[in-house]
Amino acid sequence: MRKPRRTEGYEQFELRLSGAIDSSAFPPVPTTISMMYIRDLTNSPGSEYDPSSDQPATYGLAELQIEGDGNCQFRALADQLFRNPDYHKHVRKEIIKQLKHFKKLYEGYVPMKYKTYVKQIKKSGEWGDHVTLQAAADRFGAKICLVTSFRDTCFIEIMPKDKNPTRESSILNDTDTRSWTPDVGSKFLLSTKSSTSKATTQDPLVPKVPYMTARLSQSEFSYRFPVVPGRMLVCLHFYSNSYNGHNASNAIFSISAYNRLDTTKNRFSYLPGSFTLLRNFSTSQTTYALNCAYIVREYLIAVDGETLTIKFTPSTNSSNAYAFVNGIEVISMPDIYSNDNGLKLVGQDSLIFVDNTTALESVYRINVGGNDISPSGDTGLFRSWYNDQPYIYGETVGVTVTADPSKTIISYPKDMPTYVAPENVYSTARSMGLNPQINKNYNLTWIFSVDVGFYYLVRLLERGALQLNICKRR
């Protein structure tokens, strides 16, 4: 999803793409859905309700009890659309989008001001009606068969107004409330030789979105994203599993990024400015070596033009090799790493410059003395921060210090934007203690495993806390 976000004076764009069959956790939307409403009017004289009727069996259906919390219509739709009534909030959200975008189709059937009606229907617990049913049929491109227990109107068909609708893929939120757009039919996907697949199994530690579906191919495939010039935060998500019958150990591939494109003279080629993000990358071996359930690779790439292309290439060393990806995030961010005066290499007199010809890979982002911070707890850049204790060397871990929120106000200097790090990072620290006779006898040391052959940029944030960020220069 590409949407503007304003953070500390700069315009930010976000895109999260899930290599999904439809919406990562949802099954495909059926072309016909069946619902049943039974309104208990048995105590009303003259009611047309027939308590002895068994309409579901007549149509080969089975009755499913739906929680009567005011969301029953949306729960029933969610059950038929996605096989799970708990997705009723998502269904209501999509219906509200339909009502807002196509006002002329529905306003004539609403017995009040249309804006008031939409605002009312938007509330959780508000009953749906015939208008929301029609909007659901139109939104999801599905015929709705309404089965009732009334003698005169026991079966009602609600048809989508567009007989051949172009369905908008459902957007899902992950466990951190970030929105992901499925890539099926996506304008960002360039290759037609790839396919989609669900993961064969799910580790309990692996979230459904975006990891339970993937795009894969034994041939090269690419994505091209429209972006604004500047530095982009690119996150690639991988869950090592079997997809479409492919063995997980055969997932060996390389990934390249191109930040400029030559379209002159009817040519469509890449200009200098490419970066190899991963080479002969094995997700199964990496998962095993790191002892992790899934993998996230995070890169900072400077883009000169208006497009960013990411290419996946299976290894040529094996005929069974294939490439895959579960999710891609592209987020524009301010350039907090460049330095016109250069950065001094530790132990050397030479300088290194981080400019548009340099791509960085974030290897560690540590919240010293504090807990993990999820992307939603970051300052608009959706970074993850992790507790530092697993990286401390030896048994001596020092003393953790936490600022008292009732007595401490964390303020940023005028020349320091808030997106450098969230307040939670600055509110905790790790100390060696106040007794000089004790702290002189030991060192407080963190150890990070890294790859040889690269330069590493280390950022230390010291304002009530110590935060360590290591970026691997490509």
- The four Cα atoms 452, 456, 460, 466 give a dihedral, to 10 degrees, of -30
Please list the ranges in the chain whose pLDDT falls under 70. Answer: 1-60, 82-83, 149-153, 162-170, 191-192, 260-273, 462-474
CA distances from 352 to 245, 300, 356, 472 (A): 46, 17, 13, 13
Domain edges within the chain: 3-25+172-333, 32-158, 364-468
Please name the residue that has the structure tokens 């997705």: 87
217 in helix, strand or coil? strand
**Closest Cα to residue 184, out of 29, 61, 45?**
29
Give per-residue pLDDT as tens, 374-399: 888 888 778 899 999 999 998 888 88
**Helices marked H in 164-246:** 208-211
pLDDT at 191: 67
Predicted pLDDT of residue 106: 93
Please, are residues 376 and 178 in contact by the beta-carbon 8 Å criterion? yes
pLDDT at 230: 83
- Tokens representing 466 are 């110590």
User: Looking at residue 2, what is its pLDDT?
Assistant: 29
Residue with tokens 């009727």: 53
| pLDDT score recorded for residue 265 | 43
pLDDT (0 to 100) of residue 368: 92
What does the pLDDT read at residue 68? 81
> What pairing do the DSSP bridges indicate for beta strands 10-18 and 179-182?
parallel
Given this model, what pLDDT does residue 367 score?
Answer: 93
**Strands 274-282 vs 252-258: parallel, antiparallel or unpaired:** antiparallel
How do residues 409-441 score in pLDDT, each as one tens digit?
Answer: 777 777 777 778 888 898 899 888 888 888 788
What is the pLDDT at residue 24? Answer: 34
Query: Where do we find the tokens 């396919």?
Result: 195
From the options 3.40.50.300, 3.40.50.150, 3.90.1580.10, 3.90.70.80, give the CATH code of 32-158.
3.90.70.80
Question: Has domain 3-25+172-333 been given CATH number 2.60.120.430?
Answer: yes
